[in-house]
Amino acid sequence: MKTKILIALAALSLATAALAVNEPAIIPQPQSLTRLEGSFKLAEEMTIYTDAAAAETGRMLAGKFRQATGWQFRVSNQTSPDGKITDGILLTTAGADAALGEEGYEMTVNTNLVVIRARTAAGLFYGAVTLVQLLPPEMCSSSAANGQIAWEAPCVKITDVPRFPWRGFMLDVSRHFFNQDEVKQMLNTMALHKLNTLHWHLVDDNGWRIEIKKYPKLTSVGAWRDGVGFGMDKNSTTAYGPDGRYGGFYTQDDIREVIAYAARLHITIIPEIEMPGHSLAALTAYPELGSGPGPFEIPLKGGVNPGIFSPAKPEAFEFLQNVLLEVFDLFPAKYIHIGGDEVPKEPWKKDAACQALMKQENLKNEQELQSWFTRRMEAFINAHGKTLLGWSEILEGGLAQNAAVMDWIGGATEAASKGHDVVMSPTSNCYFDYYQGRDHTEEPRAIGGYLPLEKVYALEPIPAKLAPEFHKHILGAQGNVWTEYIANLKHVQYMAFPRLSALAEVTWSPKTARNFEDFTRRLKTNNQRLEQMGVNFRTYRPETRTLIGGWKPAQIKSEPAPLEWDVTKLVTAAGNVRVSLEYTAGACGIDIAWVALLADGAELHRDAHVGFTGGSPRQPVYSLTVPSPKPGVHYTMRAQVSGSGGTDSTGNVFWDLKPLAK
């Protein structure tokens, strides 16, 4: 009897497991998906049939299948003698609907046959990615699976077209350097999500990363600095040169290799060559091109650094244009990103030649001088058949004629209404260098901010105030990993995932198909795929903390004094509460003597450990016992704090109550 029950239970759990494997968990969610009866079984020696346009995708798919299963697959451009294919996988452009456009595909998975149809190689590739995602996560492994895997895909019918043409990821390789193999690994993860644009932030104050033959000092000087900087542990990275200096760069051959690798994954790489600001690495190598006397030096910190090109020097234009000529030769992309953000204007204000130029050109202020500079660069870029792309600030002082804008701090509505193309990358939803969780004791140090998964998923790329006739100018969106505090690939991956998975759905899936709860269900499978690929990610957990208030400089004294918050509404059950004090801004943090819970002014419980919240927090989380709430009682939380080396501190206080088990 007992054995029978055990067998029945085992059979039931097997059936449940099979069902779980078979439930489609595609990210980004396709435009339309209908589940059909049964499943398709991948088999050894199976044939992938292709027409000419599909041959490369067919070979890639066979390679992927071979890697994960250890089996052989045939790729054939021959159909069977009667022209009919009854089993295997067919990738074809024949009969593909015009509505599929440049990147769409349709596919039917039947019990014996998978047909993927698209008008382009990109569409076929995305269909193949979907097929990989319909199969078990082990299909994403780069080595043959150990043990028995049921290589089955649920039968489905899918029609899928992306919502936006720009589905992007930005990687900053200047603040910290990531070599070409690491960039390729990020490209692999992008391809899994049908992302199609890598914005490669190749230069900034802290390092110049692209070989320019005409100016060898850009990399011999500009690619190296005296340490990892940013207060990072020297062991957090391996990017040291033979002489022990921190840095690195890509040779032009490396760049070509990465571009070709990306192209096979249908990813376009947009290079960013920052000008006229964020240019200290270039000016350290060629100080004569800068505004102001220098000396210029590669900094070991981020932020807005002085050291900008001088628009009053013809040789600066000549230099930047020569650099761009080599960049144009390497990158086939239509766009060239020239940065333009956060240009400190002080150097130009103090520079007599710049002031004379402004007078001569009738420019009212330094914003207009930047605009004048950008227009000149744009004329050169356009003359070479390329389109200039720049950050929000290129709008200040007047936008260049054909320029496209990358919105990080606004400007999308204004630019798109004037007919300029725009990529959305607002700090509010797209800055993946921000914290993913509110409890900083559980997260690696980040630049600041708070960008939970929900907020990325909630991004609507079309600005609310943009008139419908201009919606077409919103090309899409991208997530940015700035790397001031990120010195190795595992950490990049942790910051990118799962937020980049959410952004993939924002940019690909129809707005009406978005559903966060279903997304988190599919995310569990997607994370298994990342695990198979050896990619690090943060496991999503909903935020359980409530913001109860904060403090401002005016409330902070140099001697210990109490701060108080009303928590009456939060005392909902007996339990234990973790109270976190988190510094958010200011020149100094606060020392914390104790934190206590009070009922009608009488202290109930106190945690009297000494804490600090500021640049490097020390135990700023307090644990308090919470009683069952009594009606009519007023509960407050009190913290005894003092400014640490000053009183200019701002911060938040969070409440995280874990009720006692009943």
Segment 457 to 486, residues that bind ligand ACM, using CB under 6 A: none
Segment 189 to 208, residues that bind ligand ACM, using CB under 6 A: none
CB nearer to ligand ACM: pick between 40 and 434: 434
User: What is the closest distance, in whole angstroms, from the C-beta atom of residue 491 to ligand ACM in the complex?
Assistant: 19
H helical segments located in 424-498: 427-430, 453-457, 489-496
User: What is the closest distance, in whole angstroms, from the C-beta atom of residue 457 to ligand ACM in the complex?
Assistant: 21
What's the token pair of residue 401? 């004629």
CB nearer to ligand ACM: pick between 177 and 408: 408
Catalytic residues: 204, 278, 342
Backbone angles phi, psi at 426, to 5 degrees: -65, 145
CB nearer to ligand ACM: pick between 299 and 643: 299
Comparing C-alpha atoms, which of 297, 306, 303, 307 is closest to residue 230? 303
What's the token pair of residue 28? 């980004």
- Quick note: the x/- pattern for ligand ACM over 293-332, rule CB under 6 A, is ----------------------------------------
User: What is the closest distance, in whole angstroms, from the C-beta atom of residue 342 to ligand ACM in the complex?
Assistant: 5
Chain-centre distance of CA 63, in angstroms? 28
User: What is the closest distance, in whole angstroms, from the C-beta atom of residue 427 to ligand ACM in the complex?
Assistant: 7
Vertex 447: Cα angle to 443 and 451 (nearest 5): 65
CB nearer to ligand ACM: pick between 337 and 386: 337
CB nearer to ligand ACM: pick between 103 and 414: 414
CB nearer to ligand ACM: pick between 154 and 390: 390
Pairing of strands 224-225, 246-247: antiparallel
Q: Is 341 in the site for ligand ACM (CB under 6 A)?
A: yes
From first CA to last CA, the distance across the chain in angstroms is 36
The footprint of ligand ACM on this chain (CB under 6 A) covers a number of residues equal to 4
Helix, strand, coil % in the chain, rounded to nearest 5: 35, 25, 40
CB nearer to ligand ACM: pick between 162 and 276: 276
CB nearer to ligand ACM: pick between 172 and 211: 172
Residue 347's beta-bridge partner residues? none
> What is the number of alpha carbons within 13 Å of residue 621 lying toward its C-beta?
12
Cα separation, 300 vs 157, whole angstroms: 54
What's 289's DSSP letter?
Answer: G
Cα separation, 454 vs 451, whole angstroms: 8
Comparing C-alpha atoms, which of 412, 311, 290 is closest to residue 360? 311
Cα separation, 626 vs 420, whole angstroms: 56
User: What is the closest distance, in whole angstroms, from the C-beta atom of residue 170 to ligand ACM in the complex?
Assistant: 9
197-220: burial string, b at 16+ Cβ within 10 Å, e else: bbbbbbbbbbbbbbbbeebeebbe
User: What is the closest distance, in whole angstroms, from the C-beta atom of residue 305 to ligand ACM in the complex?
Assistant: 12
What's 554's DSSP letter?
Answer: G
Helix axes 180-192, 121-134, angle to 10 degrees: 80
Q: Is 342 in the site for ligand ACM (CB under 6 A)?
A: yes
Please identify the residue of the shown chain whose CB is closest to the bound ligand ACM. Answer: 341
Amino acid at 635: Y
Q: Is 372 in the site for ligand ACM (CB under 6 A)?
A: no
CB nearer to ligand ACM: pick between 335 and 655: 335
What's the token pair of residue 48? 């992938």
Q: Is 408 in the site for ligand ACM (CB under 6 A)?
A: yes
Residues 6+ apart with CB under 8 A from 169: 186, 190, 195, 197, 198, 199, 478, 479, 480, 481, 496, 500, 503
Pairing of strands 649-659, 546-551: antiparallel
Chain-centre distance of CA 646, in angstroms? 36
Longest alpha-carbon distance in the chain: 98
CB nearer to ligand ACM: pick between 107 and 298: 298
User: What is the closest distance, in whole angstroms, from the C-beta atom of residue 339 to ligand ACM in the complex?
Assistant: 8
640-662: burial string, b at 16+ Cβ within 10 Å, e else: bbebbeebebebbbbbbbeeeee
Q: Which residue has the tokens 């104790």?
A: 594
C-beta separation of 55 from 533 below 8 A: no
Backbone torsion region of residue 586, taken as left when φ is above 0, otherwise alpha when ψ lies between -120 and 50, otherwise beta: left
Comparing C-alpha atoms, which of 121, 179, 129, 177 is closest to residue 153? 129
Comparing C-alpha atoms, which of 579, 584, 583, 582 is closest to residue 546? 579
User: What is the closest distance, in whole angstroms, from the C-beta atom of residue 337 to ligand ACM in the complex?
Assistant: 10
User: What is the closest distance, in whole angstroms, from the C-beta atom of residue 262 to ligand ACM in the complex?
Assistant: 22
User: What is the closest distance, in whole angstroms, from the C-beta atom of residue 352 to ligand ACM in the complex?
Assistant: 29
Segment 90 to 119, residues that bind ligand ACM, using CB under 6 A: none
CB nearer to ligand ACM: pick between 341 and 531: 341
C-beta separation of 430 from 477 below 8 A: yes
CB nearer to ligand ACM: pick between 357 and 475: 475
Q: Is 396 in the site for ligand ACM (CB under 6 A)?
A: no
User: What is the closest distance, in whole angstroms, from the C-beta atom of residue 411 to ligand ACM in the complex?
Assistant: 12
User: What is the closest distance, in whole angstroms, from the C-beta atom of residue 336 to ligand ACM in the complex?
Assistant: 16
- Quick note: the x/- pattern for ligand ACM over 542-581, rule CB under 6 A, is ----------------------------------------
Segment 590 to 609, residues that bind ligand ACM, using CB under 6 A: none
Enumerate binding residues for ligand ACM (CB under 6 A).
341-342, 391, 408
